[in-house]
Chain A
Amino acid sequence: MAAFRRFRVMPREVPPELVRRIMVVGAMATLGIALLISRLWFLQLIRGDQMRATSENNRIRLTRLPAARGLVYDRYGELLVDNRPSFDVVLVPEDARDRAATLDMLAANLKEPAEELDRRIRAPSRRPPYAGIVVERDVEWDDVVALETHQLELPGVSIQVQPRRTYPHGELASHLLGYVGEASDRELADDPRRRPGDIIGKGGLERVWDEELRGTAGGQQVEVDALGRRVRVLEEVPDVPGDTLILTIDRDLQAFAEQAMGDHRGAFVALDPRNGEILAMVSKPAYDPNWFARGIRASEWRQLTTDPWHPLTNRATQGTFAPGSIFKVAVAAGLLAERVVDRHTHVFCPGGTQFGNRWFRCWNRNGHGSVDLHTGIMQSCDVFFYLSGQRLGIDRLADYVRRFGLGYPTGVALPHEASGIIPDSDWKRRRFDAPWYPGETLSVAIGQGYVTVTPLQMAVVAATIANGGTRFRPQYVKRVEAPDGTLRREIMPEILGFADVDASVLEQVRAGMRDVVMSERGTGKRARVPGIAVAGKTGTAQVVSLNEASGKGGRERTRDHAWFIAYAPAEAPTVAVACLVEHAGGGGGAIAAPIVGQVLERYFHRTVGPAPPPAREVADARH
C-alpha cells in the first residue's frame, strides 16, 4: 500500500457536464458505426452482385486465340501458303499504369520510336476494355527474351504466340494469292464476327476465300493480377483452323512462266480450255505478300503504292489494254458466221487502205497482196480486217466478240475484275453522246480504238476457240478440304456461255491460228514447241492514248504492248494461254511469242516436277 500513500483519497469529483458530454460521444460512436454498417449494407448487399461482377472483370480476361488460317496447295499438293508461329508484343493499356514510362521502356527494347508505338495504341477505335493491342508483330527471339526478363517493369505488356501467314515462295503468284492484314474499322463493320486485331484476307484469294480460310477463333479465360500479368488459365476453348484450299494452279508452270516473263512488265495466264481451270496467272511487277503478313511497314507501303508501275495491281484481271491483232480471231468468227466473208473471199492489201479522208495503214507497208481470211489471220493483215470489218459493221462485230466473253468480267473469283470495253454505237452514244463514225469501225476491227481487254479475257477467248466455243468460268480452286483432309466442297467446271457459231467457223479460225505458228509465213513462229502443234495469234497494240510529251517516262509509256494468245496441242488442246508484255518496244511475235513458246515447252516436255496433267474427261459441253 506504500505506493498509494502519496495520493490523497479524494471524493468522486466528476462533474455531470463531463458525464453528459461523454455520453454524447458514445451516442455519436453508435451513430457512426450505424452509418458504416449502412454503407456496408449498400456496398455488399445492394450493390454486391455488381461489385462481385466488377471484381471478376478485374481479374478475368478473355483472350481470343486467333485460328490458324487454312493452308493453300497447288494442284499437285505443293504448299503455296503456310503458317508459322510468330511472337507479337501485346499491350493492355488499362494495365499499364504509367503508359508513357511503359512505352519508353518498350521502345528502347524494340528499338523503335515511342511515338510510333503510341500511335499504334491509339489506332483501334472499337476496342473492348482490357483487350490487348498488338504493338509490334513478329519480334525477334532475342527481343522476346529481353521483354520477358523485363516483365516487372512492363506492366500490361505480354508476348502472344500467334500463327502468322507465310508464303514460302515469296512473290510467286502473289496477285492470285493476295495478302492478309489487320481488319480495318470498315472491315470490322462489314462482318460482325470480326474482332479488332483480327487478321483477314485483304487481296486475292486470301480475301475472296476468307470465309473458308479464316477458321474459328478460340478463347482463353485468363486470371490476371493488378498488373495484368497472367496468373493462370481458367478455361480454354481451342481454335479451329481454317479450311485447306487445293488450287488448280501448277506451281512449277507458274514459277516457270514468272521466270520466262523475266524483267518485263505484263501478265501471263494459262488455262485448261476443257474446264476453265487456271494453271498459271502471272502479273509483273509483283510484290512479296510476306511483307503484309508480318505487318507492313510504312516505308514498304509507300514503296508499293508510289511505284509508278503499280505492283499491287493484278494485270491479268485488273489491267485493261488495247488487244491489237489478237482481237482479230474473235472478229474473224463474226465475219464467217455472218457470211461477210467465206473461205474464198479475197482482199487486196497494198499496205493500207483509204477510208474517208484518212489512210489506214497495214502493219506491213509493203502490202500482203491478195489475202483471204486464213492468210489474214496468219499474217495478221490489217487491210483484210479493215475492209471486211467495215462490211460487218460495228454492232454485229461487237455482238460476236462479246460471245467470246470480251466486254464482261470473266467471272473469276478475284476482287475488282475489270470488264474492258467492247464499243458499239449504243456505247458511243451513252458514253460520248455522239454517233458512231464508220471510220472508227476500222480501228476496232484490228483491236485498236476504244477496245480494251484484260489478259485473262484473252486467255478465255483462246480457250473458247480451242474447245469449240464453250466459255468456262476461269477457276483456280479445285477443292476445299477440312483441316483433317475430308472433302468439304469440290468446285466443278462452270459453263458461262457459248460462242454460238457453226463448228466450221471456229475450224477456219483455228486453221488460221495454227498457221500463225506452224507456217513459215506465220507471225508467231517463235512460239513453236518441238513435237507439239501450237496455234496462236500475235498482237502489237499501239498505245495511242498517251502522247510523248506527257512528262517523265513518257517515252517508255508510249511503246507498243506485245501480245500473244495460243493453245496447244492444236488438234486436242489441253492448254490455252495469253501473254501480254506491257510497253514491250517490240511486236507480239518478237517479244510475247517466245515467252509463250518457252512456257508451253515446259508444260509439255518438263522432266522435273509433275508430269502433264491427265486429260480430264469433259463431256462435250454443248450436249
Chain B
Amino acid sequence: MPAIDRRLLTHFEWLLPLLVLAVATLGILTIYSATWTPATVGPPALAMRQLAWLGAGVVAMLLATSFDYRRLDHSAYLIYGLCLAALIAVPLVGTVAGGSRRWLRFGPIAVQPSEFMKLGMIVLLAHWFSRSERTHHNLLQVAPALLLVAVPAGLILMQPDLGSAALLTVVSLSMMLMAGVRMRWFVLLAMPLLAVAPFLWGFLKEYQQQRILMFLDPTKDPLGAGYHVIQSTIAVGSGMVWGKGWLKGTQNHLDFLPEEHTDFIFSVFAEERGFVGSCMLMLLYLAIMLRLVVIAVRARDRFGLLLVSGVLATILWQVMVNIGMTTGLLPVVGITLPFMSYGGSSLLCLLFGAGLAMNVSMRRFLF
C-alpha cells in the first residue's frame, strides 16, 4: 500500500463513520422489527440482507478513503457517463417492482442506478464548479450544468420515481448554491417554471396527483389516499415519551403502516422508541451534518468542499423530507431515510459518500 501516508492515519476521520454506523445499526434493528412477525423463525431475511449490504458498505466506505479524492476530479465525466449508461440501461433491461422499473439485476443482487447517479452527479458538479475561479456565476455559465442535471433527472422521472428525480434536482441546485451561484438566478429560473406548473400537473401520474391533493387535506379521505399519512402520524404520536418497545409497535405489526421498512421506517422507529429515541436519532443526524460542515470548511480545495457539500445536501434533504413526510408535515414522496431505510444501493452509496467526506477530511493537510 504505497499510497498510505502516515499522516493519513494520524488524521483519520473517526467521528463521521462512528455516527454513520450508529444510525445504520439502528436502521437494521428497525428493519428487523418492521419485517418481523410472531411467526418468524430467526431474524427476518430483509434485516439480514441489509446487514450484508452494511458490510459491503463499510468496505466501500474504506475504499473511498484509500485514494486521493482529486482523482475523482479528473475522471468526473467518466463516472457521470457510467452512471448515466446504467440509468439508460434500466428501461431496456431493468426489473420491475411495485409498478416502476428501477433496478438492474446482477445475479442475486439488484442495484438501483438512480442511487449511484446521485453520487455521480455530486462528483460531476463538484468538478464542474471547482474549475472556475469565480464564485458569482451568471446564468449562461450555469446552464450547461443544469442540462447535465436535467438528463438523468428526466430518466429517473420516467421510471417513474418522482422522489429520486426531485431529490437529484434539489441536491444539485443546493450544490450550485453552495458553489456560489447567486440566488437570484434561481429565482429567475423558478418564475417560468411556476408558470408552466399547471401544465406539468397533467404529466403527473394519478397517484402522484393524489398524493399532492391529499397532502393539502389528509382528513378528506381518511381511508383512501390520506390513510398512510394519518396512520403514520398516529404511529409516531402513539410512541409517546419512551415508545412501545422494540418489536411492540402495533401500528407497525398490524400493518397499519405502508412501506414500513423503507419510506416509513421512521414511523416504526418513533412508535417503538418514543420521543427520547427519536430525538437521539435527530441529534445523530444533526451531528453527522455538522461534522460534514466542519469537514467541508476545512477542506483543502474547492473540489473537496463541493464534494462534501453534495453529500451534506443529500443527507439534509432526505432527512428533512422523509421525517417531514412521516410526521405529516410534507406530502408523501418516495424518499428514503439515509442509513436507516432498507435498500442496498442507497446504503452503499451513502456510505461511499461518507467515505469520500472522510477522504477529504484526512487529506486536508496533505498537499
- A interface vs B, CB < 8 Å? 1-4, 7, 9-10, 12-15, 17-19, 21-23, 25-26, 28-30, 32-33, 36-37, 39-41, 43-45, 47-52, 54-56, 58-59, 94, 97, 223-227, 231
Contacts and interface: CB of A to CB of B under 8 A. Distances in A.
Interface string B264-296: 000000110011001100110110011001001
A30 B223 CA distance: 35
B241 A44 contact: yes
A284 B328 CA distance: 67
B312 interface: yes
Contacts of A40: 236, 270, 275, 278-279, 282, 327
A6 to B, nearest CB: 9
Contacts of A37: 278-279, 282
A49 B67 CA distance: 53
Interface string B1-18: 011010000000000000
Given A39-B327, A52-B237, A10 B367 contact: yes
A30 B290 contact: yes
B299 A54 contact: no
7 contacts: A4-B366, A14-B302, A29-B290, A48-B240, A50-B237, A55-B271, A58-B234
Interface in B278-325: 278-279, 282-283, 285-286, 289-290, 293, 296-297, 299-302, 305, 309, 312-313, 316, 319-320, 323-324
B293 A47 contact: no
Contacts of B236: 40, 43-44, 51
B202 to A, nearest CB: 26
Nearest to A227: B255
Contact of B234 (A3, A21, A51): A51
Given A14-B297, A22-B178, A223-B250, 12 more contacts: A3-B2, A25-B174, A26-B289, A32-B320, A33-B282, A33-B289, A40-B327, A51-B237, A51-B238, A54-B234, A58-B234, A59-B251
B178 A21 contact: yes
A225 B255 contact: yes
A56 B235 CA distance: 10
Contact-residue bracket for chain B: 35 or more
B70 interface: yes
A12 B364 CA distance: 9
Contacts of B135: 15, 17-18
A155 B18 CA distance: 45
A38 to B, nearest CB: 10
A45 B275 contact: yes
A53 B279 CA distance: 22
Contact of A44 (B5, B240, B251, B297): B240
B259 interface: no
Nearest to B329: A39
A14 B279 contact: no
B179 interface: yes
A19 B297 contact: yes
A225 B251 CA distance: 9
Given A36-B327, A226-B255, A29 B286 contact: yes
B302 A47 contact: no
B330 to A, nearest CB: 10
* Chain B interface main SS type: helix
Contacts of A225: 254-256
A30 B254 contact: no
Contacts of B174: 25
B120 interface: no
Contacts of A12: 300-301
Nearest to B235: A55
B212 interface: no
B240 A59 contact: no
Contacts of A94: 223
Contacts of A10: 300-301, 367
Nearest to B291: A26
B273 to A, nearest CB: 10
A287 B54 CA distance: 75
Given A23-B293, A37-B282, A226-B255, A14 B299 contact: yes
A107 B93 CA distance: 42
A398 B316 CA distance: 99
A231 B305 CA distance: 54
A25 to B, nearest CB: 6
A227 B285 CA distance: 35
Contacts of A1: 2, 5
Nearest to B271: A55
A337 B366 CA distance: 136
Contacts of A48: 237-241, 275
A125 to B, nearest CB: 19
B55 interface: no
B43 interface: no
B264 to A, nearest CB: 13
Given A1-B2, A10-B301, A33-B286, A55 B234 contact: yes
A382 B320 CA distance: 104
A15 B302 contact: yes
Contacts of B50: none
A40 B319 CA distance: 14
Listed from nearest, the 6 A-B pairs whose CB atoms lie closest are: A51-B237, A26-B293, A55-B238, A48-B240, A226-B255, A43-B237
Contacts of A36: 282, 319-320, 323-324, 327
Contact of B68 (A3, A14, A223): A3
Nearest to A32: B320
A43 B236 CA distance: 7
B237 A47 contact: yes
B177 interface: yes
B223 A97 contact: yes
A25 B238 contact: no
A59 B67 CA distance: 54
A484 to B, nearest CB: 40
A54 B238 contact: yes
